Structure 1
Amino acid sequence: MSPQGFADKVAFVWRVADKLRGTFKQHEYGSVMLPLLVLHRMDAVLADTKDAVVAKAEGWTDINEGQDYMLKSIAKQRFYNTSPLTFAGMLHDDKNLALHMGGYIRRLSRDAYRVMEAYNLDEKLTRMERAGILYGVVSDFADLDLRPSQVSNEAMGYIFEELLRKFSEMSNETAGEHYTPREVISLMVDLLLTGQTLTDLVENPKPVRTVYDPAAGTGGMLMGALDKIREANHGAVVQVYGQELNDETWAIAQSDLMMQDISPDQMANGNTLTQDRFTTDRFDFILANPPYGVDWKGYARPIKDEHEKLGFHGRFGAGLPRVSDGSLLFLQHMLSKMKPDGSRVGIVLSGSPLFSGQAGSGESEIRRWILENDWLEGIVALPDQMFYNTGISTYVWILTNRKDDPSLGLVRLIDGRESGSKMRKSLGDKRKELTPDAIADLVRLYGGAMGEFADDPRVRVLPREEFGFQRITVERPTKDEDGRPILKRGKPVADASLRDQENVPLPAGFFDLDESQREQVLIESAEKHLAEEIHPYVPDAWIDHKKTKLGVEIPFTRQFYVYEPPRPVEEIAAEIKDLEGQIQQWMAGLGL
């Protein structure tokens, strides 16, 4: 399909949507137009085999598994419809159009009907019928040529995704829950396809790559990855998989796959954290934009059970974050899906997972586990105001279990906070965007962080130990009236009121040591800190090493902090004097 033909079909549906005005709110338009588009496309795809399917299914009331397989074979599709009606044919009885459409939908094959049911289309058809707009909307759709001979599966996917984007932006007050801006997806996928990963993809004549999103939303990340991989190598076979909790959002993602003849089994419905639908699967690329700060208290029991009973044989062995934010649960789940021979993981997170939780907390232990395994390759800070329903700072984490040699033991940080361009028209909280040039620049910095761009002020490459510390407990003795330490069994008794805690940086190469070496190195490092930093001021202090805890946090912004000296006192004084003179002139003008 030509670009003009693609644009014409998108514009056509967009114009039809205008008929919903007054009956539906703008944020509801997509939930009406998208399922109608899917229904019309299915009708067009099934047209050639329609009569054969209807004839074969005549008299069948409850279609069993064998019959379902047979009808799909006759339809030569992953779905079928046993209704003798067609999308256009239903218009011949305008007084019973809603009734006929409901029956037509219920005669779809099981998987296809489940998708349409999740859209809750029956209720919307009733609303349109009562408002007197149903016939006009459906008849307009019937004029849209979606035959496979005119619109390929790939082109249909592009049309669907473009409409989804436009409707999502129209409903910006809720879009952020399910829709990630396209430019963020583009950046994430480009970051995943760097270095040897891209080289292997390009040089292989027919590579097979699997992509997985455990918080798939409307499927935008999966489709973005699929398109980018095919763009890099037209011979690539890309298999996408996802899971989504929200029923209607799942239906949208499932519809997009159906439009491109992708198996419905590859888009699961349900809570990824409690009902993993891909328990034994591993993937080449794993990417997600999980919900920020979502409370998981309501379904905590199965997660805690998996943590306690399975440990590292399950998904959450490293630890559990606070119940007010499940982001790091998603990250652990994603890391459990890596292939032993190498996968790449990309996830969008808020600032909280970088540093929330004290030493020894679930969050800190999860970060420590990631660094100990040397999986964190890099983090890119995004501009604020990039998403539809939040203006908070966000970060793209890139992780892999197959780092190249120059990256071993190191973490690259890229500061892209100033890379955003202001939009001419804001969409909810989204007021900034990343242009293609900005994306290319960030990817260039990321890829060259270990070499040619290592000295760029927006780049930091740090050893992983830089983010770890030991939280030591410093004790001081309880003293008697004469100021002498009180002893018990020959040792001074600690005064709890004078107890203090300090963070001591981890020694270089700490994560490369075995457990026995680590303990000794920590004690030596802590005692050195005591002698050099504490004893000069508090000579009787000591460290209770039994209370020491390891902590990990990633203070991203601190790494890029640039000290700005205060203005000279003389300059400030001169400015104040000028302001006083102006005020006196104003007062004189008022006759005061």
Structure 2
Amino acid sequence: MTNTEEQKFLDELDKKLWTAADKLRSTLDAAQYKHTVLGLVFLKYVSDAFDIRRAELEAQFKNPDHEYYMDPADFGGAESDDYKLDINYELEERDYYLETNTFWVPAVARWQFLQDNNKTVIGGATLNYSNRSGEQEKLKLSSVGHLIDNALEAIEADNPKLKGVLNKRYTQLQIDQAKLGELIDLIATIPFAHATLNSKDILGHVYEYMLGQFALAEGKKGGQFYTPKSIVALIVQMLEPFKGRVYDPAMGSGGFFVQSEHFITQHQGKIGEVSIYGQEYNHTTWQLAAMNMAIRGIDFNFGREPASTYTNDQHPDLRADFVMANPPFNMKEWDTGVSDEDPRWQYGRPPSGNANFAWLQHMLHHTAPNGSLGLLLANGSMSSNTNNEGSIRRALIENDLVECMVALPGQLFTNTQIPACIWFLTKNKNSRTSASGRALSDRRGKVLFIDARNLGYMKDRVLRDFTQEDLNKVTETFHNWQEGNWGVEDDVQVSTKVAGGYGARSDQVGFVKSVQLNEIEKHDFVLTPGRYVGAAAEEDDGEPFAEKMARLTGQLKTQFEESDRLEGEIKMNLAGLGYEV
């Protein structure tokens, strides 16, 4: 199947998913139906994955060439009751599923059970089901919500990693039970099996799509848990988290971890060589992130509980190789209960009215000696001198921790119009080999400035996005500079390569410049890329500057005169109608 056909499949899946969400839109607010729909999608996925593995096992039990083969002759023949019972018994053995990292799904949590009984339980009912031994058991349920909550509780009980993760609140939903049953029937039509896409890729697409749509639906509040995929991808591409510890102290739904997995997979790395650490304050978002990791089979440590990164650090001893985050911009009143003498404030006590430099220093505190970090912040962080921010930024620069600054275009976020930038810091600019195997040059005393404000395209009337070529251009420029491949080509060659999607290899007016620390000092330690890269020269139209200015000034004078004339006519017409002007 072609990529076009795959995309068509995913587009149709998107429409079906959003139709499912719309069934609840009129009765639940966006925050509620986000968790309601995603919880059911999770149940459908784990059940489908379980069924796929179950079918594989059944085929293996009946295959004489497989080590799991069960010879019918030992049970009185292939059609004997004993043979069928024994196969069914083996198909309920958890270890067969765990060995392929497939969730064990108890009988009461399997999608067919939910679909068969979602109408029966409206108003209450007692259901019969078969346990592993084939014996009949009874289950008393009061509603469709109770049916779903019971399924989620059963999955948690059989999968300790999910303890406390699933959002078991369907019984509490103020919603028509029949509508919830309709939602189960609709989600039943969502396929997690495909000829060329594996089920985890499909579910990953589902999560990214739904999180993005919910962020749009919830507006500013919803965007707190969602960072646009292209921005996350840019930071991951630039940092290259191939192996080691990866940490996000404001993880939201876990987007940086998912993109790290994609990156590692695309570059033939091993996800098992990466350890995932995260923290999140919001309980339901913490649950989303844990589900996001669980469905992908990614091992994770999100601490004992949802908690404030500032007052209840869940990973106090962690020193990570890669730290990435998109924390809330310009967060106020963040420091209640935080000591002025906190060891994280090595470069200055952040102001109470803005957490930008608190996030940055927290991340630095948790960065390993050879580690690197990428942090999204509001543009004000690059130039503000309010309440100690300027002195903290100066200390970071003087200690040679800042490696690269990237200015982003506007309209990238669903939840804010605040202009943003990316800080890239590292504790070691010496020549060494990166985790991805690249030979890094000695970058001490230098900072790379990239102005990416002119990149990207408008994906709709309100949102901007990057193309993969845009991401590659910025990433390759940064990597060329890191590797010492800088200043090796003339401007014509650089322009040609940049136009073709390749990264620059030397300073380019309007886009990139490598700057010494003493030059930053001359600019009062301001880190705004536009101040250093300058403005790209406009195309020469052949008209001398003096003549162009005279012509434009003359045109402006004529337009002013015409404006005065029209204003006079309007006043006369209004006066003729009896209005005073």
Asked if these proteins are the same fold (TM beyond 0.5), I'd say: yes
CA distance in 2, matches of 1:121, 1:304: 43
The secondary structure found in structure 1 opposite 2:337 is helix
The C-alpha deviation readout for 1:539-591, integer Å capped at 9, x for no partner, is xxxxxxxxxxxx74435443355599998578536632564267548868979
Alignment match, 1:363? 389
> 1:153, CA displacement in angstroms?
3.9
Structure 1 counterpart of 2:367? 338
Deviation at 1:242, TM superposition (A): 1.4
1:579 to 1:375, Cα distance in 2 relative to 1, 3 A: closer
Q: Which residue of 1 aligns with 2:495?
A: none
Q: Give the match for residue 22 of structure 2.
A: 18
Out of 293, 315, 323, which is 1:286 matched to? 323
How far did 1:323 drift? 0.9
Contact persistence 1:420–1:435 (CA under 8 A): yes
Task: Note the alpha carbon deviations across 1:184-219, whole angstroms, 9 max, x for none.
Answer: 1122122223xxx8xxx6xxxxxx343211110111
Residue in structure 2 matched with residue 351 of structure 1 by the alignment: 379
Work out which of the residue numbers 301, 304, 328 in structure 1 matches 2:340: 304
Cα pair distance change 1:303/1:572, threshold 3 Å: same
CA distance in 2, matches of 1:560, 1:165: 33
Is the contact made by 1:105 and 1:113 (CA closer than 8 Å) also made in structure 2? no
CA distance in 1 between partners of 2:188 and 2:566 (Å): 75
Alignment partner for residue 230 of structure 1, among 265, 275, 295?
A: 265
Give the AA of the match of 2:181.
Y
Gaps of 5+ in 1: 50-70, 202-207, 308-313, 469-504, 507-550
| Residues 1:39 and 2:43 aligned together | yes
The SS at the match of 1:439 is helix
**What is the CA-CA distance between 1:373 and the residue it aligns to?**
2.9
Q: Which of 357, 361, 380 is equivalent to 1:328?
A: 357
Is the CA contact (8 Å cut-off) linking 1:410 and 1:461 kept in structure 2? Answer: yes
Per the alignment, residue 269 of structure 1 pairs with 306
Contact 2:520 / 2:526 at 8 angstroms: preserved in 1? yes
Contact residue 115 and residue 255 of structure 1 kept, 8 A? yes
Equivalent in the alignment of 1:258: 294
- 1:384 match: secondary structure: coil
Q: 1:436 aligns with which of 449, 465, 468?
A: 468
The structural deviation recorded for 1:381 is 0.3
Q: How many aligned positions are there? A: 460
Q: Provide the rounded CA distance (Å) in 2 between the counterparts of 1:75 and 1:465.
A: 60
Q: Secondary structure at the match of 2:414?
A: coil
Q: Secondary structure at the match of 1:284?
A: strand
Q: Is 1:171 aligned with 2:171?
A: no
Partner of 1:114: 164
1:454 lines up with 2:513 in the alignment: no
Tell me: CA distance 1:82–1:321, structure 2 relative to 1, closer, same or farther (3 Å). Answer: same
Comparing 160-169 and 576-585, the one that deviates more: 576-585
Matched AA of 2:338: P
Structure 2 counterparts to residues 28-427 of structure 1, below 5 A: 28-45=32-49, 76=98, 84=108, 86-90=110-114, 91-92=116-117, 93-95=120-122, 96-107=143-154, 108-109=156-157, 112=162, 114-117=164-167, 120-124=169-173, 126-129=174-177, 132-146=178-192, 151-193=198-240, 208-235=243-270, 237=272, 238-263=274-299, 265-266=301-302, 269-297=306-334, 299-305=335-341, 307=342, 314-340=343-369, 342-357=370-385, 362-403=388-429, 404-426=440-462
Q: For 1:583 and 1:365, how far apart are their aligned partners in 2?
A: 52
Q: What is the TM-score with the length of structure 2 in the denominator?
A: 0.69
**Structure 1: which amino acid aligns with 2:517?**
R
- Give 1:73 deviation, angstroms: 6.3
Aligned in 2, Cα 1:79/1:420: closer, same or farther, shift over 3 Å?
A: closer
Deviation for aligned residue 1:348: 0.6
CA contact under 8 A between 2:293 and 2:299: conserved in structure 1? yes
SS of 1:374's equivalent in the other structure is coil
Could you tell me the percent identity over the aligned residues? 22
TM-score calculated relative to the size of structure 1 = 0.68
Contact 1:209 1:236 in 2 (8 A): no
Structure-1 separation of matches of 2:95 and 2:414: 43
Relative distance call for 1:133 and 1:13 in structure 2 (3 A) is: same
1:348 alignment partner AA: L
Cα distance in 2 for partners of 1:80, 1:236 equals 22
Report SS of the residue matched to 1:94. Answer: coil
Q: Secondary structure at the match of 1:233?
A: coil
Are residues 560 and 97 of structure 1, via their aligned partners in 2, closer, same or farther at CA, if it must alter by over 3 Å? same
Give 3-state SS (helix, strand or coil) of 1:88's partner.
helix
CA contact (8 A) 2:109 2:150 kept: no
**327-336 or 435-444: which moved more?**
435-444
CA offset at residue 30 of structure 1?
2.3
Cα separation, 2, equivalents of 1:279 and 1:578: 66
Q: Are the equivalent residues in 2 in contact too, given 1:191–1:398 (CA < 8 A)?
A: no
Q: Could you tell me how far apart the structure 1 residues matched to 2:380 and 2:441 are?
A: 30
Q: CA deviation at 1:293?
A: 1.0
C-alpha contact (below 8 Å) 1:214/1:243 kept by paired residues = yes
- Contact 1:72 / 1:78 at 8 angstroms: preserved in 2? no
Give the Å deviation of 1:287.
Answer: 0.7
Q: CA deviation at 1:133?
A: 0.3
Q: Which amino acid in structure 2 is aligned with residue 291 of structure 1?
A: P
Unaligned runs of 5+ in 2: 55-92, 123-142, 430-439, 488-504, 539-544, 577-581
After superposition, what is the alpha-carbon deviation per residue over 1:376-427, rounded to whole angstroms, capped at 9, x for unaligned? 111010011211122121111111123243421011111111223223332x
State how far apart, in whole Å, the 1-side matches of 2:291 and 2:324 are: 20
* Residue 559 of structure 1: aligned partner: 532
The answer for the alignment partner of 1:466 in structure 2 is 519
Q: Write the distance in 2 (CA, Å) between the matches of 1:266 and 1:588.
A: 71
